[in-house]
């Protein structure tokens, strides 16, 4: 049995009230939006949180920053923007969500992380509205809902190497800020340590060889030359600077180049199909972050609540030092 690999920071009820009051008088950020001036949101958000979160909560965040567990949730933050309807086309007016953006970016700054966007997806914007879109219902994307999103890591077609530039690196973290989760649909997490421990050593070794080709997910558009993005001859599993095993994987996105690689991939897929992981429910005002290399995630299919009230999580990729 593996130790629980997540950290939960629960805000005490009295602190929740203080934070709610502070959030009622937000700083005037003029016309700045997260995409035009992310530094302003990071700085102001962190200042706001330092002023109103209790010392024990700030200490817990600092502790995670120095020794990050594969995932972290912050619960019992006040919900902000509860009156704003869930976007139905994947995008919303960012000037209406200043409160959520300040809390989200402020937490990223307190955790020592930098937000990152990729030019191939989400129109290059930092915040992805993970919200059902009727015209994308059956897609395997964060706008879909009618199909399961099976175990995967995000952006596995990108570069896993330690020297990868921010614009091309596999996102280290996925951070979520909850606007509403009316349907109570969790995000399931499965840590790579448990997966590798459940596989024969020879399979784990084969997954570490640079013998896999990767294609981009459905949410990606073509590269700058109009070709679909691909990455050839890379490992599925590698080791992070802190010694943890890391993984890239997406169903139907990876192929083995050799007989051994194909057999190892098949064994890996057979094993994870039977693994349950841990469900994490991100609700209004909740914050959740996990390491996209140390953890896979998935989401069951669901029926969205009525228009404007459906599940709405705000997702931002982030990079850390390692």
Ligand X SMILES: O=C(O)CCC(=O)C(=O)O
Closest-by-Cβ residue to ligand X is: 187
Q: Indicate which of ligand X, Fe ion, none lies near residue 160 (CB less than 5 to 8 Å, by partner kind).
A: none
Q: Is 154 in the site for ligand X (CB under 6 A)?
A: yes
Q: Indicate which of ligand X, Fe ion, none lies near residue 109 (CB less than 5 to 8 Å, by partner kind).
A: none
Options 149-157, 199-207, 250-258, 264-272: segment touching Fe ion (CB under 5 A)? 149-157
Chain centre distance of CA 101 = 15
Pseudo-torsion of CA 38, 42, 44, 45, nearest 10°?
A: 120
Q: Is 104 in the site for ligand X (CB under 6 A)?
A: no
Q: Min. distance of Cβ 152 from ligand X in angstroms? A: 7
Q: Is 170 in the site for ligand X (CB under 6 A)?
A: no
User: For ligand X, which is the closer residue by CB, 50 or 138?
Assistant: 138
Q: Which residues of 165-286 form beta strands (DSSP E)?
A: 173-180, 187-191, 212-215, 230-234, 237-239, 245-247, 254-256, 278-280
- What mask, x for binding ligand X by CB under 6 A, covers residues 121 to 150? ---------x-----------x------x-
Q: Min. distance of Cβ 173 from ligand X in angstroms? A: 11
Q: Is 187 in the site for ligand X (CB under 6 A)?
A: yes
Q: Is 283 in the site for Fe ion (CB under 5 A)?
A: no
Q: Which residue has the tokens 């962190």?
A: 46
Q: Min. distance of Cβ 266 from ligand X in angstroms? A: 23
Q: Min. distance of Cβ 187 from ligand X in angstroms? A: 3
Chain centre distance of CA 93 = 21
Render the burial of 35-72: b for 16+ CB within 10 Å, e for the rest: eeebebbbebbbebbeeebeeebeebbeebeeebbbbb
Q: Which residue has the tokens 């596999």?
A: 170
Q: Indicate which of ligand X, Fe ion, none lies near residue 315 (CB less than 5 to 8 Å, by partner kind).
A: ligand X
DSSP string, 38-100: HHHHHHHHHHHHHHHS-HHHHHHHHHHHHS--SEEEEE-PPP--TTSPPPSSS---GGG-HHH
- The size of the interface with ligand X (CB under 6 A), counted in residues, is 9
Binding residue for Fe ion, selected from 121, 154, 155, 211, defined by CB under 5 A: 154
CA neighbor of 291 nearest in space, from 121, 155, 175, 208: 175
Q: Min. distance of Cβ 268 from ligand X in angstroms? A: 19
Q: Is 299 in the site for ligand X (CB under 6 A)?
A: yes
CA neighbor of 143 nearest in space, from 181, 87, 94: 87
Residues 258-297 binding ligand X (CB under 6 A) are: 297
Question: Cα(43)–Cα(28) distance, rounded to whole angstroms?
Answer: 13
Q: Which residues bind ligand X (CB under 6 A)?
A: 130, 142, 149, 154, 174, 187, 297, 299, 315
Positions touching Fe ion (CB under 5 A) are 154
């Amino acid at each position: 049995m593996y130790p629980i690999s997540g950290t939960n920071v629960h805000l005490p009820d009295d602190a929740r009230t203080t934070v709610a009051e502070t959030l009622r008088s937000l700083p005037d950020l003029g016309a700045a939006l997260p995409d035009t001036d992310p530094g302003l949101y990071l700085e102001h958000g962190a200042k706001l949180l330092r002023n109103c979160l209790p010392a024990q909560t700030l200490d817990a965040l600092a502790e995670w920053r120095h020794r990050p567990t594969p995932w972290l949730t912050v619960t019992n933050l006040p919900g902000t923007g509860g009156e704003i309807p869930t976007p139905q086309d994947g995008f919303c007016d960012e000037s209406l969500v200043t409160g959520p953006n300040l809390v989200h970016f402020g937490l990223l700054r307190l955790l020592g992380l930098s937000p990152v966007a990729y030019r191939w997806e989400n129109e290059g914007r930092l915040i992805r509205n993970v919200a059902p879109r009727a015209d994308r219902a059956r897609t395997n994307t964060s706008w879909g809902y009618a199909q399961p999103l099976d175990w995967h890591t995000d952006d596995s077609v990108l570069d896993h190497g330690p020297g990868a530039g921010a614009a091309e690196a596999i996102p280290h973290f996925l951070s979520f800020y909850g606007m509403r989760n009316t349907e109570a649909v969790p995000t399931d997490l499965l840590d790579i340590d448990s997966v590798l421990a459940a596989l024969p050593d020879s399979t784990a070794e084969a997954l570490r060889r640079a013998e896999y080709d990767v294609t981009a997910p459905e949410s990606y558009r073509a590269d700058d030359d109009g070709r679909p993005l691909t990455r050839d001859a890379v490992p599925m599993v590698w080791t992070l600077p802190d010694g943890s095993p890391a993984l890239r994987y997406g169903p139907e996105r990876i192929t083995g180049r050799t007989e051994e690689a194909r057999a190892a991939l098949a064994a890996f897929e057979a094993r994870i199909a039977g693994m349950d992981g841990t469900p994490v429910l991100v609700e209004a005002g909740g914050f959740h972050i996990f390491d996209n290399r140390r953890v896979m995630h998935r989401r069951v299919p669901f029926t969205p609540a009525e228009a404007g009230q459906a599940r709405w999580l705000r997702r931002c990729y982030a990079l850390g030092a390692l």
